[in-house]
Structure 1
Amino acid sequence: MIYLTTMTMQLIDNDPDGIRICRVEGESLVTVVVPRDKLAAAKKLPDLPDRGVYYLLDEDHGVLGRVYAGQTTHGLQRLDAHRTQKLFWNKAVMFLDSDNNIDRDVLDSLEATAIDYVRVHGSYETDNIETPSPRMNPYKEQRVEELHASILFRMRVLGYDLDRKESAHVVASSAVFHTKKNGVHATGRYNPDTGRFVVLADSEIGLDRPIIKNQGAIDARMKLFAGESSKAKLEDDVEFTSPSAAAVFVLGGSQNGWTEWVNDYGQTLDYVYRNKEHMDE
């Protein structure tokens, strides 16, 4: 027996890394993938439903560093607040439907299910501190389970596996870590003896986002790129006192370098150097 699922994907402006709209044959749920820097364009798209759940992702080629789950009754407009209040995410994935198909009880229970799932699964961090406890309508429990199963399936198809566990690999002390967040490609090396992190020459530096609360990164940018904006390329290696300072220098904003820098196996710096269970292997 061959079981088939038909999913269609629309690429806005023919950009495979841009806004994507996905639908599964026989289901009313609409999936919308929104890169952070494409939010303004995404909000102009017509005829998208307003009600559903969403994930904010800090992701690098499918490797999830941090995940936040929430609900919306205003469609993509909900992301406006997160653009200013949550700086970690570079991509949002929304699962939207009409009020008739996702009523208030289903929406609250679906959000609680999604939050509980990201808190106990995968190797990523989450900004969801607590799981809501709405009353689960027993007559709608099956609907919630079906919706959540469809969401998990669609996330895997899109390359964002919420169940993914980092596997152990031997990592050399000279291993190169990288970030590709917000279209900025940079590489670096961590020294576990000193705790310092070197951003390597030829790394791209995103200058369009201001640095928050990291004087060392601010000083380095001012020294190297005074008067420049948008994106620049580093001519020489630059050393920082921590992985986070290096990530802030490269990406701007406020960054957790321990989860931002990943190696070629998709392992975060935190997993390689601070995960006690891994270190004992």
Structure 2
Amino acid sequence: MIRLTTMTMQLIDMESDGIRICRVEGESLVTVVVPHDKLADARKLPQLPARGVYYLLDEDHGVLSRVYAGQTIQGLLRLDGHKSKKDFWNKAVMFLDEDWNLDRDVLDSLEAKAIAYVRSQGSYETDNLETPNPRLSPYKEQRVENLHAGILFRMKVLGYDLDRKETAQIMTSTLFHTRKNGVRASGRYDKDTGRFLVLAGSEVELGRRVIKNQGAIEARARLFGDRTGREKLADDVEFASPSAAAVFVLGGSQNGWTEWVNDHGQTLDYVYRSKEQGNE
């Protein structure tokens, strides 16, 4: 027997990688995909439920380097609090429903299950340091299991596989890149010195100020003065660490070990620090 599942997807402003609203036939849960730079537009969407769980993703073409799971009773407004406090993400995926379908017990337990999952699965890092342990009636356990399974299914269909393990052979060709928030930059890491070289032609997001990295602040001032917007490097620039290089390019506060990835989607951390592969 053929089992069919029908998922519909609405694209806001006809952008294939912009805001997306997804629904599965016969289910009340609404999935909303929000790129970081489209958050202001997403908040204008009408008639979306306010209660549910969400994931903040640092992703590049479906490869996840960092994931955070949480819950909301404010719908999309919850993401406002993460614009500065958790500035690593470039995509948010929210799973929302009406209050009567997601009561507080179910919501708390669904969040706990989502957090436990991202802490134990995949090859990505997570900002979730502890797993909550809420009480749940045994009569509601199956509801939480079904919801979580449905969420994992939708994430995989959307191209964000939370189960994905890094199985490719480590590639130590030294070119790494970032495309976070649409900024395209590339560079090379020197494992002997720990320094990172951002290559000429890389984009630098000057519209976002640097937080707490003097080397990146001084390099921006020296190379671009008071300019704003997005500029391209005319020459290579070397930094004391991968994180300083990532902060210079992207602004904000960045973890360069997870931000820089190679053409195989492997993070700098995985290539040079992975104990499982015997690399230090």
Question: Normalising TM by the smaller chain, what interval?
Answer: over 0.9
Letter of the structure 2 residue corresponding to residue 119 of structure 1? R
Question: Cα distance, 1:226 vs. partner?
Answer: 1.2
Residue 272 of structure 2 corresponds to 273
Amino acid at match of 1:231: R
Q: 1:90-110 deviations in whole A, cap 9, x for unaligned?
A: 111000000111111110110
Pairs within 5 Å for 1:1-281: 1-172=1-172, 174-279=173-278
Q: 1-side partners of 2:225 and 2:8: how far apart?
A: 46
Structure 1 residue 225: Cα displacement: 1.1
- 1:4 CA displacement: 1.5
Q: Distance in 2 between matches of 1:161 and 1:44?
A: 28
SS of the residue aligned with 2:200? coil
2-side partners of 1:129 and 1:68: how far apart?
A: 10
Is residue 273–residue 279 contact of structure 1 (8 Å, CA) maintained in 2? no
Once residues 60 and 162 of structure 2 are traced to their aligned partners in structure 1, the CA distance between those partners, rounded to angstroms, is: 14
1:123 aligned counterpart, secondary structure? coil
Could you tell me which amino acid in structure 2 is paired with residue 8 of structure 1?
T
Residues 51-60 or 162-171, more deviating: 162-171
Alpha carbons 1:52, 1:107 under 8 Å: kept: yes
Query: 2: CA distance between counterparts of 1:105 and 1:96?
Result: 15
The 8 Å contact of residues 169 and 265 in structure 1, kept in 2 or not, is answered as: no
Shift of 1:170: 4.0
1:129 is paired with a residue whose SS is: coil
- 1:195 Cα deviation after fit: 0.6
Distance in 1 (alpha carbons) for counterparts of 2:273 and 2:127: 20
8 Å Cα contact 1:53-1:69 kept in structure 2: yes
Deviates further, 177-186 or 84-93: 84-93
3-state SS of paired residue (1:278): coil
Q: How much does 1:132 deviate?
A: 0.6
Per-residue CA distance 1:164-204 (angstroms, 9 max, x = gap):
111242423x4211100001011111111111111111111
Amino acid at match of 2:114: A
Identity, in percent, stands at 76
TM-score, normalised by the number of residues in structure 2 = 0.97
Whole-Å separation in 2 of the counterparts to 1:175 and 1:87: 26
**How many Å separate the matches in 2 of 1:18 and 1:210?**
24
Structure 2 CA distance, aligned partners of 1:194 and 1:167? 28
Whichever residue aligns with residue 44 of structure 1, its letter is K
Paired amino acid for 1:157: V
Q: Where do 5+ consecutive residues of structure 1 fail to align?
A: none
Q: How much has 1:76 moved relative to structure 2?
A: 0.5
SS at match of 2:197: strand
d(CA) in 2 for partners of 1:26, 1:170: 43
Q: Distance in 2 between matches of 1:255 and 1:51?
A: 30
- Tell me if the contact between 2:219 and 2:248 (Cα under 8 Å) persists in the aligned partners: yes
Between the aligned partners of 1:270 and 1:85, the Cα distance in structure 2 is 23
Write out the 4+ residue segments of structure 1 that deviate beyond 3 Å after TM superposition.
Answer: none
RMSD of aligned residue pairs (Cα, Å)? 1.2
Cα distance in 2, alignment partners of residues 180 and 86 from structure 1: 18
Between the aligned partners of 2:170 and 2:247, the Cα distance in structure 1 is: 27
Q: Which amino acid aligns with 2:143?
A: R
User: CA–CA distance in 1 between the matches of 2:73 and 2:179?
Assistant: 31
Whole-angstrom distance in 2 between the partners of 1:156 and 1:270: 24
CA distance in 2 between counterparts of 1:89 and 1:239 reads 25
Q: By how many angstroms is 1:2 displaced? A: 2.0
- Residues paired across the two proteins, number: 280
Query: Do the aligned partners of 1:43 and 1:77 also contact (CA within 8 Å) in 2?
Result: yes
Which ranges in structure 2 are unaligned for 5 or more consecutive residues? none
